[in-house]
Amino acid sequence: MSVKDENEYEDLLAAWADLESGLGIILGNPEHTQQFAHRVVQYDRWMQALMQRDPDAGLYLLFQLASNSPVGYSASHALVCSVLCHLMARELKLAARERDSLVRAALTMNVAMTGMQDVLANQSDKPSAVQQEMIRLHPVKGAMLLGNLGVSDEDWLEIVGAHHDPRVDAGDFAEATVTVRLTRILKLVDRYAAMISPRLSRAGRSATESARSVMANSSARSDEIGHALMRVVGLCPPGTFVRMDSDELGVVLRRSARANLPFVAIVGAADGQLLGAPRLHATALGAPSIRSALPASGVRAQLNHYQILSLGLEATAAL
């Protein structure tokens, strides 16, 4: 499915924004949220419905708009991680119960430090000693808080409690327990998403730099997870700015059947001028090729996202 008209685009954008906003409210006030665990399940199902509607458009909006989110870094990061874990679960053929535990842990892994995470994202100084202690303790405190809020899924709780624990990286991935495997998936997704997202203290890295850094810092035992992530989103996921070897500016629109050869919307000429209308280009069919990915913080172009996403109809027809 693709965006067919402007009304559909506005509906899709509003649905993702409402999902992120609602998630931000319950993560920011978990102890004052009635039936917190049930609400998380509802937001998970809402996310699944939006991804089923159009996964590439969902990725595009998440990666393009996350850096400009008015809701706050923590909710945006949680939503990005949950979407990536949802896609990873399908790629790795996880059982439905395992998928649910993983995605819901991604949504709530930082519930014990939501407010502070938003502060840190807008803080130019290094974390203070008090903040560092909160960061160190937030996984265990988060698991305890979730248990007190009615979460009874033991895997969900254990994943949250161990999502920064280096001990889960020991041993062979295939021979690890279910909970350890799920925790490793979340750890890798968490690092990848954090690298891409800009903060006041640093600009976000490009998607390619983030992917290569995650792969380089993963042990050989985790390669299966890293390769699965690359199969799911590619080196340049939808929503990623790219520089073509023609010097034109593009933004990745949709994945294609050929790994790392996505459909790109060319939005800027080689001389730096924005085009009047974006132009669809299938990199799998030949030049120009993607020369490099660009961090979103380094591109000041004001894009018409509706015009870009509407090119998805042409891309779908070409698949």
Q: What is the pLDDT of residue 200?
A: 40
234: left (phi over 0), alpha (psi -120 to 50) or beta: left
Q: What is the pLDDT of residue 309?
A: 92
Q: What is the pLDDT of residue 21?
A: 92
Q: What is the pLDDT of residue 220?
A: 41
Topology of domain 6-233 in CATH is Hypothetical protein af1432 (1.10.3210)
CA 260 from chain centre, in angstroms, equals 17
**119-162 pLDDT per residue, tens:** 877 777 888 898 889 889 999 999 999 999 999 999 999 999 99
Task: Give CA–CA dist 94/143, Å, rounded.
Answer: 22
Q: Which one-letter DSSP state was computed for residue 219?
A: -
Residues in the chain: 319
| Ranges of the chain whose pLDDT falls below 70 | 1-2, 66-71, 197-223, 316-319
What is the three-class DSSP state of 150?
coil
Q: In the chain, which segments carry CATH 1.10.3210.10? A: 6-233
251 bridge partner residues: 241, 265
Q: What is the pLDDT of residue 125?
A: 81
Query: Residue 170: CB partners within 8 Å, gap ≥ 6?
Result: none
Query: Residue 159: CB partners within 8 Å, gap ≥ 6?
Result: 101, 102, 105, 109, 179, 182, 183, 186
Question: At how many degrees (to 10) do helices 223-233 and 73-91 cross?
Answer: 100
Tokens of 72: 């706050």
Q: What is the pLDDT of residue 221?
A: 45
Task: Give CA–CA dist 208/307, Å, rounded.
Answer: 25
Q: Does pTM surpass 0.75?
A: yes
Phi first, then psi: what are they for 270, rounded to 5°?
Answer: -60, -25
Q: What is the pLDDT of residue 258?
A: 81
Task: Give CA–CA dist 217/190, Å, rounded.
Answer: 13
